[in-house]
Structures are given as C-alpha cells and as structure tokens.
Structure 1
C-alpha cells in the first residue's frame, strides 16, 4: 500500500533517510534533522512531498519516496524530481519500489507533468537494472554538478 506521508511519519522517514545514506556509503552526509524534515514537508510553504510504502500484511512502514517539483523551460510544465526512493532490504522484491514510482507517475499524469526524473549512483547496478526494467533510460549526455559547503559559501561571497 502507498499513501501520502503525514507528520506522524517524520521519525520513520528520518530513520529511512539514514538507512539510505548508509546503503549509499555516505552516512556522514545525512545531516537533516526530523525538525527540518517536518518543516520541509509540512511547514507553511512545503518544499517537498513524501509517500510511504506500507507492508500490507504487517502494517510496517518499509519505504518512502521524497520528491519536489521541477520545471522544464523546454516543455513549459512542471515535472517531479525524485530526491530519494528507498525500500528496506527486508522488503525489497515485494513491489514497494515499483508502487512508489507508479504513484509518482500517476501524479504526473493527473497533473499534466511531463517528466519524472531522478539520479542514481553509477555503482548501484541492482537499482539501475530495476529502473531500466520499468522503462527508465539514463540521460548520459548530462553530468550533474553540485556546489556545497565551502565552494558554495565562496561563490556566494562574490555576489
């Protein structure tokens, strides 16, 4: 079962984010606090949205998708950028990941959004295979760039 996250889900979402960071070999990078997540998802001006995967038999929250809107200047409409998709290892293979992506695709179709995009680590072959089996294709001609920490601060100081 897939449902929209509620404020009561914040502790589990935070735990799942930490589990994802550990899986991606970067636990030191997961710095978001539950308070920050609460504000981002449920504050006066939400910056992101989340859906939860619930195991039908146990009722346990086993995964989540956290996403936000982007905009394509070429298409002239919004799209969804999937920031995180994570299903606990013990629940993988039961269709939760596909169900989360299907829900986001449904939202795109319902709202007229024309893109559902995300990034995946190059070494994560099981996940790449999963996405490609759904029909997703890598955008090989683009390279993601990021400014953080000192480099971001340094550039901001030049404004």
Structure 2
C-alpha cells in the first residue's frame, strides 16, 4: 500500500508556501536651493508614510503652494500583485501627485491581501510520515 503511494507521490509534500508582494516608489524632483530641497524631501518622507503608522496627512497640506511640486515625478514599481483584480476592476498603480499616491497605497494594500497574489519566495517540504492525517489514514 505505501510502496505505490510513495512511488507516485514521493516521500515529501508541500506543507507551506511563502509569497511576497512589493511596491517600490521613487520620488524625483529638481531644485536650485539646498534648503528648499531638504524641506521638500522631509515633506515627501512624512507624506509617503501611511497615516496608519503615524505618517503626515498629505490631504491637509497644500502641495501646490510649493514650487518644487511642479517638478515632482513619482515612479512606482510593483510586483507580486494579483493581475486578475487589476484587469477586472480597471485598477491602476499610477500617481502624479500625493493624493493619487495615497490611493495607490490603498489599492496596493488591498491587492496584497488577494489570496492568489504574491511571487513564491520559499516552499516548505515535509515528509509524509510527519503528517498526522497520513499517519491516521495509514493506521500508524
């Protein structure tokens, strides 16, 4: 009984799979003044942090007043997201300002929670003999 099973299935089974999703953002802007650049950079760092984690609320700040915001470009790279949800609901991960960037963060967070999202990072293999259901079925 067990010989045929192990010949067919092998001695190990996949116990768990670890998946990873990632969102990288680069903020680019140009400035003539070092002080203005530092201030703008601090504002970006505070704004880019999610409000849940104590980040700055960009919706209450008027970025249009800052002359450096005119030169700002936001480059977003994502991998490991579920493409089914993106295609079906026409979701985008494109932002041209901080208001849209927070929408991208919200969307990315939702996409990371979809069960089929993620790139496989590792797989845990275990011997069948360590599986209690296998032992129970085989009267071990």
Per the TM superposition, whether the score is higher than 0.5 is no
Q: TM-score, normalised by structure 2?
A: 0.23
Q: TM-score, normalised by structure 1?
A: 0.21
Ranked by relative contact order (alpha carbons within 8 Å, sequence separation 6 or more), the top structure is 2
